[in-house]
Amino acid sequence: MHIRNEVEIPESALSCRAADADTELAELAHANRVAAMGRLSASLVHEVNQPITAAVTDAHAALRWLGAHPPNLEEVRQALHRIVQGGNRASELVGRVRTLIMKEPPRQERLDLSAMILEVIGLARGEVMKNDILLTTRLAQHLPLIRGDRVQLQQVILNLIINAVEAMAETSEGPRELQIRTGESDWDGVVVAVRDSGPGVAPASLKRVFDAFYTTKPRGLGMGLSICRSIIDAHGGRLWATPNLPRGAVFQFHLPRDRAMAPL
């Protein structure tokens, strides 16, 4: 016996389901961002503490120059200039962290991926240096702009960098090298590649590495890459992984250009 059951689903219900899915993704993405910043917390404290310590040193130097007979105003001016630079650097870093962990609805704006990558590298720089990793960039100029949510896309880049750093930190074979590249893709958009020299991803895991709850890390939750792919998919792009010869892995994602506006 063949039973056919047809149920008409109202458009309002479909809209609610889509909204619920978007809300769920936003919640997961926020939780993942907080976890990523937690992993970087010690490094970030060090990064913020450096300009603060330098500012205090320069302030003491400025006081000494003011107390000289006669006061050396040029040295004081230079010390104050360095204090301003250090304060701005610390403020920018704190601002980036705050932006990444704040719970805000997705925002669509025109974005330059190369500029975004430099901002994320600033957040992860301490962790890269702590693990003795050589980080190089090949960021193309005058790339087509893309349209998307800055915080979500920065989260993807940050996750890929952290994963690469953690993978290389677990191995002592060969040099630790991390390269980040941008360029125009063959699909009328922009492609970003994060290439590392770690142990790589086993061929059997390449297809599963983006599955929710799949992880090869002893303490991993297996959500980071899954959320990254969901974010890229929501932006109309594609995220994939390939081996990096002779060793390591390459994680790449493509995003379509913003067709509404001309490139910079």
pLDDT value at residue 79? 92
Under-70 pLDDT residues of the chain: 1-26, 28, 39, 42-43, 103, 212-223, 260-264
Residue 171 is assigned to a structural domain of this protein: yes
Residue 31 is assigned to a structural domain of this protein: no
Whether residues 87 and 134 share a domain: the answer is no
Residue 3 is assigned to a structural domain of this protein: no
pLDDT value at residue 263? 43
Tell me the longest C-alpha to C-alpha distance in the chain: 105
Residue 14 is assigned to a structural domain of this protein: no
pLDDT value at residue 125? 86
pLDDT value at residue 88? 87
Whether residues 73 and 131 share a domain: the answer is no
Whether residues 59 and 152 share a domain: the answer is no
Residue 157 is assigned to a structural domain of this protein: yes
Overall domain count for the chain: 2
> Where are any strands of DSSP class E within the chain?
109-111, 134-139, 146-148, 177-184, 189-196, 238-243, 249-256
**What does pTM read for this prediction?**
0.72
pLDDT value at residue 13? 43
CA dihedral of residues 250, 255, 225, 210 (deg, nearest 10): -80
The token duo for 55 is 């500012």
pLDDT value at residue 97? 77
CATH number of the domain to which 171 belongs: 3.30.565.10
Residue 34 is assigned to a structural domain of this protein: no
Whether residues 59 and 90 share a domain: the answer is yes
Cα distance between residue 144 and residue 259, in whole Å: 9
- CB-based contact 168:133 (threshold 8 Å): yes
Q: What is the domain extent for residue 169?
A: 107-256
Residue 117 is assigned to a structural domain of this protein: yes
Whether residues 136 and 249 share a domain: the answer is yes
- Residue 162 C-beta-side C-alpha neighbours within 13 Å: 23
Whether residues 49 and 126 share a domain: the answer is no
